[in-house]
Structures are given as C-alpha cells and as structure tokens.
Structure 1
Amino acid sequence: MGSASKQSNKPGGKGGVDRRTRIAELRAAEQRRDRRNKVIASVAAGVLVIGAIATGTWFVMDQNQKKKDREAAANADIPGVKTFGDLSRNHVKDKVNYPMTPPVGGDHNAVWLDCMGHVYDKPVENERAVHSLEHGAVWVTYNGKATADDIKILTDKVKATPYSLMSPYPDEQGTITLNAWSTQLIVDSASDPRVNQFFTKYVQGKQTQEPGASCTMGEM
C-alpha cells in the first residue's frame, strides 16, 4: 500500500493527471466567464449607445417641433388685433399727441422704460413706453375694471417675460390692453387665451423696429 501511494504522486501518475484535468477545467470555466462577461458588457454598451442616440434624436425632434410651433404662432392671426401701419420714429423732448390710447408707436422720448419684465404700479410716460415698444417689448396696460386676479395673472406673466412691461392706464377704454409696436389688442380678462398668443407672437416679434436693442438701463 505504501508503494502504491508513492506511485500516485509521480508526475506520470494518476494523481498528477487528475490535478492537470482539474486545472484545465477551472481555466475553461474562467474563459467561459470572461466570454460571458464580455458579451454582457457589449450588450450593455450597445443598449447605452442606442439609448443615447434615441435620447439625442428625441431632443432634436422636440427642439425642431418647438421651433415649428413658435414659427406657427408667430404667423398665426389673433382675432381682435388692430394694426396701425407705418408710424414715425423720431426722438423728441416734448409730449406727443398720439392718435391711439394707449399709444403703440410714433415719435417718442430718446430714453426708453426698463422693460425686462418690469411691473410699474403707477402710470408711466407714454413717450418712453413707446420707445420700449420700438425695441420689441409688449406693454400691458389696464384700468380700474381689471380685477385683482387679472392683475396677479398679468404681473406673473410679465415678470417671467423679458421684453415686456406693465402699468396701470386709467384712461384706456378696454379693461386690459396689450400693446406692441403698431399693434394692439383689447381683452376683458387676463384669462383670455389671446393674452398668451399675443406675447408669443409680439415679444421681439416681426413688428420690432430695433430687434435685440436693450430693454434695460432706461429711466422712469
């Protein structure tokens, strides 16, 4: 029995064969794991790439759709809007007798009103508000018929919109008047859907005489 045990430990013995077989099996199993992990990693990477491409494609399509929507809104007619044709644009120091109330264009003061979402709680100078319209701002005015809810809705809208301003205008006929250069719309309520349509179309819209001109550093 002693001699048989010694024989099994020799390099050519049964014990050596079993050990080499076991090592080969372990290596084969390890190689299978490596191949499986590589396949899983490749699939995961592919999923990530496809996801990134899909996300990028969706983002581009979404941006394109938003651009089309803005262009459509800019070209859409808004019921009730009045336009006044070509109006003069001279800088003057004196008061101007405007043909419409509130005024939406014509000669005006050389200094505009701050109109980067500025809400004034008192009436402003016509001549300076008109200059802001020349720069592409929308001027929201209202009289005593406007409710507290109207004023709150309009205030929030203006404060969130660069190139807009708002002020009371006791002498206007309509409850709420939306004014852009040579353009005007009267509504009875701030919840009228045409309010948002007017902002979309006329804030820095095609009627703007000086696109991109500053709407800050003006004076009251």
Structure 2
Amino acid sequence: MSDDTRATIKQRLSVMQARQRRAERMRRVAVIAAVVVVLGGLVATATVLILKERGRSSLDAVQTIAVTQREHTTDPVTYPQSPPVGGNHDPAWQNCGLYSQPLRNENVVHAQEHGAVWITYRPDMPMDQVEKLLALARGRDYIIVSPFPDLSAPVVVSAWTKQLKLDRVDDPRLPAFLRAYIQGPATPEPGAPCSGGIGEPSV
C-alpha cells in the first residue's frame, strides 16, 4: 500500500471520527434539551396546581362588613345582611351546636358576639351534603350549623363582621374560615360562653 493510499484512508477515518463525535454531541444536546423541557413542564404544572389550590383555600373572597351597633333588645331586628354578621341582638345567646331547624337571627348574633361561627345551608340541600357539614362541625366549640330559608348560596358561613358564600360543602375555604374566625380577631367578647343560653341542638 502506497503512502498516498495510507494518507487517504487516514484522512477518511479522521473525517468519519469527527462526524461521529459531532453526532454524539448533538445526541447529548438533544437529550439534555428534552430533559429540560420535561422538567420545565413538570415544574410549570406543579406551580399551576399549587396556585390553583391556594386560590381555592384563600379567604380573599371573605366579605368584611362594618357593624356599628351591638345593643341588647327583645324586639325583632332587621339586619342588612342575610344571614346577619352582627348588630343588635337578643339578650339570650343561641347555644352552639347542630340544628335541623332554622334559628332566630337575634339569638345567633349574640353567639357571634361571643366568637361563634354560623354555618347555614339551604333547607333543600341533599342529606348526604348536610351530613358533610355536620361532620365538619360535630364535637367542636363555637360553631352553629342550621338550615336558613332563601339563602343566596348553597352554603353561607358567617362570623362577627365576616361572611363567605360557597357553592359546595367540600370547599376548602370553609375549614379555613373556621380556623380564621372562630373566636377571631373581630370578636367583641372573646371567651364569652357558647352554652348556657337558649336552644337544644337537635342533631
């Protein structure tokens, strides 16, 4: 084999090896790019889910309503909100607990003054949904649960100066509301009793 032939073969081998190295580099770059894309997609999906969950459990939708009066009265009171979130009220507070019949606003408002949260639901709500509300509240202090006629949403949860309307009983904002507003910062008489008043919880 002549020197020229050897040189030609060596040159061809060198070219082939260079092409193989370039191809290998391109494959590595493609793999890395694919991994980056997949990881980026996973991170983006996780971020969206986290933000969505935070949005569901956020209390940004809670209405804050000014209450300027809280005198005792035995007369009926016309409240600007339905259900009410505070105001003048009966001298006797509603005992906290679970009720199967609508309650008198004036007595529940007095319980709200003591730090109770009132969970109200439409009277025609299916019983399996009602049971979910009862299970959430059963055995806990400073919660009143009762049906409420002509409710503007399937579930409305109210504390002193605070109210949140919900479309579902399993909305994560409901337990968040309870954590935030049972004996919450707006409670006029924190620590006052939620028993020893009137009413016999029936559920």
TM-score clears 0.5: yes
Q: How does 1:32-71 map to 2 (within 5 A)?
A: none
CA contact (8 A) 2:113 2:188 kept: yes
| TM-aligned CA deviation for residue 160 of structure 1 | 2.6
Pair 1:128 & 2:107 matched: yes
CA contact (8 A) 2:58 2:173 kept: no
2:143 maps to amino acid: S
Pair 1:98 & 2:79 matched: yes
Structure number, greater radius of gyration: 1
CA contact (8 A) 1:105 1:182 kept: yes
| TM-aligned CA deviation for residue 77 of structure 1 | 5.7
| TM-aligned CA deviation for residue 187 of structure 1 | 0.3
Q: 1:141 aligns with which of 120, 134, 140?
A: 120
Which stretch shows the higher mean deviation, 153-162 or 106-115? 153-162
Structure 2 unaligned regions, length at least 5: 1-56
Structure 1 partner of 2:153: 174
Aligned-pair identity in percent equals 39
| TM-aligned CA deviation for residue 148 of structure 1 | 2.2
Pair 1:154 & 2:133 matched: yes
Normalised to the residue count of structure 2, the TM-score between the two structures is 0.67
| TM-aligned CA deviation for residue 137 of structure 1 | 0.5
Normalised to the residue count of structure 1, the TM-score between the two structures is 0.62
- SS of 1:121's equivalent in the other structure is coil
1:153 maps to amino acid: K
CA distance in 2, matches of 1:209, 1:157: 25
CA distance in 1, matches of 2:82, 2:147: 13
1:97 maps to amino acid: T
| TM-aligned CA deviation for residue 144 of structure 1 | 3.6
Q: Which contiguous aligned blocks of 4+ residues in structure 1 show a shift greater than 4 angstroms?
A: none
Residues 25-55 of structure 1, C-alpha deviations (whole Å, 9 max, x = no match): xxxxxxxxxxxxxxxxxxxxxxxxxxxxxxx
2:125 maps to amino acid: A
Structure 1 unaligned regions, length at least 5: 1-75
Structure 1 partner of 2:64: 83
